[in-house]
Amino acid sequence: MSMAEFSPDLISILRAAQHIAVLTGAGVSAESGIPTFRDAQVGLWAQYRPEDLATPEAFLRNPKLVWDWYAWRRGRVSQVQPNAGHYALAQMQQRVAQFSLLTQNVDGLHQRAGSVGVIELHGNITRVKCSREGIVIDRWEETGETPPRCPHCGAGLRPDVVWFGEMLPREALLAANAATNTCDVFFSIGTSSLVEPAASLGRVASHRGATVVEVNPTVTPLTTHATFSLQGPAGVILPALIKAVWPS
Ligand code: OAD
């Protein structure tokens, strides 16, 4: 992608921006080799839909299955590296007075690329919590049981991620709403804009007159609300955009 392909209006809006908020989804990690949520599952897991594994009901029904799926995904995450899109967002943070990175991803790749203060709306797959008390557990005894048990109360341990039907962490949601309500530019990158409440943030930003920029190879329900729709992979578009806006 060359500089000439970006609208001069977009370039000047970004140069003048005081507060940029960015919402990311699974698409931003696709080029690192992590399948997006709504892509077909691979291998062993191809017979399950993520929507049927990422729920409290699935964990109650079959805690071993859910634990093993997350253990597999955790293994994937530990084997991959951040991509050019993650690095471009870490660079963007250094160029603007205020920058808020809101992510639905649980893979920690933004942090590994150097982004700081990342607001994790759906938790983090590397953390584990007690399924009864909700407290994060750092150490437990491996007894061969799957899932392992909470050392305090004996309940099963689960990943510290948000499942369908669960509330988002309060602090993260408040921070996301505040950023959406005060930014002058809102980016929606690599998300299908289907899962609430994150899906509404772009529309809220648009209604209050912020410039909304979508980066996604396909159209989503947000596309018609976007001021600029940049169609393509985040790992290609974002580095080119940074170069066009802040060439030095
Ligand atoms: P989805 O899998 O729903 O959507 C991924 C989006 O990324 C799609 O719109 C793709 O077109 C786009 N995409 C694919 N490759 C891309 C690339 N290289 N660059 C940019 N975009 C690309 O994932 P999310 O929108 O993140 O929640 O899903 C939202 C939530 O639903 C997830 O956090 C998870 C899921 O179920 C929970 O587990 C609670």
* 112-129 pLDDT, tens digit each: 999 999 999 999 999 999
Looking from the CA of residue 193, the nearest atom of ligand 1 is 25
The overall average pLDDT reported for the chain is 94
Give pLDDT tens digits for 134-144. Answer: 999 998 888 88
Q: Which of 19, 86, 110, 122 is catalytic?
A: 122
- The residue among 175, 186, 170, 231 whose CA lies nearest residue 24 is 186
Torsion angle (degrees, nearest 10) of CA 100, 83, 65, 131? -30
Exposure string of 62-82, with b = 16+ CB inside 10 Å and e = fewer, is ebebbbbbbeebbebbeeeeb
Distance 121 CA to ligand 1 centre (A): 14
pLDDT at 2 exceeding the cut of 60: no
Residue 122 annotated as catalytic: yes
- The residue among 65, 40, 39, 43 whose CA lies nearest residue 54 is 65
- pTM to 2 decimals? 0.95
What are the pocket residues of ligand 1 if the criterion is a CB atom closer than 6 Å to any ligand atom? 25-27, 30-31, 36-38, 50, 54, 104, 122, 162-164, 190-192, 194-195, 215-218, 220, 233-235
Query: Are the C-beta atoms of residues 74 and 126 closer than 8 Å to each other?
Result: yes
Orientation angle between helical segments 84-93 and 234-245, nearest 10 degrees: 30
- Cβ neighbours of 35 (radius 10 Å): 16
DSSP-derived letter for residue 149 is: B
Between 179 and 248, the higher pLDDT residue: 179
Query: Are the C-beta atoms of residues 59 and 53 closer than 8 Å to each other?
Result: no
